[in-house]
Amino acid sequence: MITGMGAISPLGVGAEALWEGLREGRSGIGPLRHPDADRLKVKVAAQVPASFDPAANIDERTLPLLDRTSEFALHAAREAISQSGIDFSQPELGMRTAVVVGTGVGGETTQDEQSRRLYADNAQRVHPLSIVRLMTNASASQISIAYGLRGPTFAVASACASANHAIIQAAQMIRHGMVDAAVAGGTEACITYGAMRAWEAMRVMADDTCRPFSANRRGLVLGEGAGIFVLESLEHARARGAVILAELAGTGMTADATDIVMPNAIGASTAMTQALAEAGLAPQDVDYINAHGTGTLANDATETRAIRLSFGAHADRLTVSSTKSMHGHALGASGALELVAVIGALRDSVVPPTANLDKADPACDLDYVPNVARQMPVRAALSNSFAFGGLNAVLALKHAP
Partner 1 sequence: MSDSTQQQIFEIIAKQAKIDLSTVKPESTLKDLGVESLDAIELIFDIEEHFNINFPEQQGASFDSDTVQSLVDAVQKELDNKAAAGEGSN
Cα 245 to its chain centre, rounded Å, is 17
> Shortest Cβ distance from residue 261 to partner 1 (Å)?
6
End-to-end CA distance of the chain: 9
Q: Which residues pair with 320 in a beta bridge?
A: 289
Q: Which one of the listed residues 75, 160, 236, 327 is annotated catalytic? A: 160
> Shortest Cβ distance from residue 299 to partner 1 (Å)?
13
Q: Report the candidate in 269, 271, 338, 350 with the shortest Cα–Cα distance to residue 303.
A: 269
Q: Which is nearer to partner 1, 198 or 360 (CB)?
A: 198
Q: Which is nearer to partner 1, 219 or 223 (CB)?
A: 219
Q: Which is nearer to partner 1, 218 or 379 (CB)?
A: 218
> Shortest Cβ distance from residue 379 to partner 1 (Å)?
38
Q: Report the b/e string of 305-323 with b at 16+ CB within 10 A.
A: bbbbbbbeebbeebbbbbb
Are 228 and 80 a contacting pair, CB within 8 Å?
Answer: yes
Q: Is 40 exposed, middle or buried (0-12, 13-18, 19+ CB in 10 A)?
A: middle
Q: Which is nearer to partner 1, 149 or 204 (CB)?
A: 204
Q: Which is nearer to partner 1, 175 or 218 (CB)?
A: 218
- Is 292 one of the catalytic residues? yes
Taking the C-alpha atoms of residue 32 and residue 47, their distance in angstroms, rounded to an integer, is 8
> Shortest Cβ distance from residue 263 to partner 1 (Å)?
11
Q: Which is nearer to partner 1, 329 or 374 (CB)?
A: 329
Taking the C-alpha atoms of residue 324 and residue 337, their distance in angstroms, rounded to an integer, is 9
Q: Which one of the listed residues 190, 236, 329, 364 is annotated catalytic? A: 329
Q: Which one of the listed residues 75, 236, 292, 327 is annotated catalytic? A: 292
Q: Which residues pair with 247 in a beta bridge?
A: 398
Q: Which is nearer to partner 1, 288 or 386 (CB)?
A: 386
Are 352 and 378 a contacting pair, CB within 8 Å?
Answer: no
Are 86 and 240 a contacting pair, CB within 8 Å?
Answer: yes
Q: Characterize the bridge pairing of strands 380-387 and 374-375.
A: unpaired
- Is 160 one of the catalytic residues? yes
> Shortest Cβ distance from residue 260 to partner 1 (Å)?
7
Cβ-based neighbours of 343, under 8 Å, separated by 6 or more: 2, 5, 19, 245, 246, 397
Q: Which residues pair with 182 in a beta bridge?
A: 98, 231
Taking the C-alpha atoms of residue 62 and residue 58, their distance in angstroms, rounded to an integer, is 7
Q: Which is nearer to partner 1, 261 or 282 (CB)?
A: 261
Taking the C-alpha atoms of residue 264 and residue 298, their distance in angstroms, rounded to an integer, is 9
Interface positions with partner 1 (CB under 8 A) = 41, 201-203, 207, 259-262, 297
Alpha helices in 24-161 (DSSP H): 68-84, 108-115, 130-134, 138-147
Taking the C-alpha atoms of residue 134 and residue 349, their distance in angstroms, rounded to an integer, is 40
Q: Residues with catalytic annotation? A: 160, 292, 329
